[in-house]
Chain A
Amino acid sequence: MGGKQLQPHPQVYRFMNFIVIGVNHQTAPVEVREKFAIPEARLAEATKSLASYPGIEEGMVVSTCNRVELVARTVNGTADLHGFVRQFYGFDPAPYREHLYEYREREAVRHVFRVASSLDSMVVGEPQILGQVKEAYATARAVGAVSSHLDALLTRAFAVAKRVRTETAIATSAVSVASVAVDLAKKIFGNLQGKTVYLVGAGKMCELAARHLLAHGAQKLYVANRTYDRALALAEKFDGEAIPFEQLYETVPNADIVISSTGAPHAIFRKEHGEKFLSRRKNRPMFFIDIAVPRDVDPEMNKLDGIFVYDIDDLSQVVSSHIADRRVEADRAEAIVQLEVDKFQSRLQTLDVVPTIVSLQEHLETVRQAEIDRVRGRMGTLTPEQEMAVEALTRGIINKIMHTPITTLKSAARESSEATTVIDLVRKLFGLRDAGKAAAAADEANAVGSGKPGAHN
């Protein structure tokens, strides 16, 4: 090293500029989550506008029945996501402040890992959330809202989720919403033998619940969906019958168990419907499982004799006892997540091209100095003009040489999958020292130099 102190680089901490805001089943009741929920059809649009909001480089939106989260990477560590909420939803998030949570940097990384690993789920360990996060990620990729760092974060989150699932017993004993629904159906109907299940909406959760119910003896399956083809596809899968959506109200009274998960903005089953169903059924009981947010079934319907309505929050209450049993496994899973956050941080540091550029510059500068010192002995004393000419010449040469590697590194940084390969290649070609050490050195220098609060653990 040329004895020169490394300058703290303003971009070194760029990799931790993550920010997450959202509402979930713990912080907000279903009435509030309904307000924030984004229907599948609008997800791409929401993701796109998030990513193009001022101050934000990359963005992703997760919207499930239990949570709505905006995940973003900002340009300089802060961004006015509340402003985005105001712009996108058209209402002021201030009244919901107590329900909204916000995580930054390491905490944001940890949160994303926990969500993907199903540690933040209503039913800890349930498998659906991973699929939902994956879908949100796919949507974000499709609209070009994620690139280098968010991409790396999500890829890692999926790996962490897999690790948690295989290394702890959390998933094996997981009580999914679907199996809770089966238990409740058994409490009402006893044996499910010969019972009829009606799916309203053809979503993943619906399908899962139907699979469970059929496995426990339910006999007949009807599927109604706004897009008839999807109803048909799902019905075929289970040997059921697809019903055109217009015939919904005439056919629902045939069902004992109705699982509803449409993206409808308003309730599609109201109390007066329930009264009609009951008279058609001669008061035989009906069980409505409402996993949609916003809810499909008016809670008033639960007041009718013989109709039992459980929404997603009610199911959570039923399973809350199971969660306690899995505390130990959850603690182990949390430890894995913590470890992975640390690993991710150092990995992102190696991903960062800045230390490589710095050491490339240092390396060439050292070479240049050494060569000048060597040649100077042979040339004797030079005039100040000659001295300056030599300086200019040598500097010009190394700057020209460095230009292409540096631009290549910078462009590689934007595409995370390339970055490591290019960094390794450059380091190998120029004989630079180990990337990890360089990053650590850069890190150290920054800790001294930048004084940025919260950026460092």
Chain B
Amino acid sequence: MNPDFDTLVGDDATPDELAALRHVHELLLSATPAPELPRRLARPPRIRRRAPRLPIGRVRATLALAAATLVGIALGSGLSLDHGGRDQTRVALAMHGVGPLAAASALIEVGQRSPRGKWPLEMSVRGLPPPPGNARYELYLTRKGEPDALCGTFRTRQAGLTRVRLDAPGDLDEYTGWIVTSGIPGRHTRVLLTT
């Protein structure tokens, strides 16, 4: 049963006000019910701020700080947003493009550590063109600025968003950052995305 406008509003409104209220009434009648937020959406996603461009000498220190923050969040109370019964996101952090791919970006959402000691993660990548041939991009955890632990490889689509599921090994607190590199055989590996 639709609510009766005259009953709702009464007769003490001016004509202008009445017209405005009737407009709202009609909008409410045509609108779908506003959904309730589930528990996993009770709070906004926690996303790391995109790192500002820094002089090379400060990059390593920044990466170390970012990793320390990540580990602190991941191992502390952190977030517990689940993904519809899938992994629970403990922390999310942003990556940004480097050099000619400065417009590229990625979001890494790290889940709960598995019984086998790995950290499942989902990475959403934007603006990274498909690698040539059979080449694949590689996601590394870094230590002191150098790629150290491979989390997995992936390819991207022509445009828009690509989501990939990978695993980070070991103890995250041993590492100082994340990078995506071009894993093109026979070519010099270069960093394309970094935290």
Q: Are A and B physically bound partners? A: no
**Chain B interfacial positions (CB closer than 8 Å to A):** none
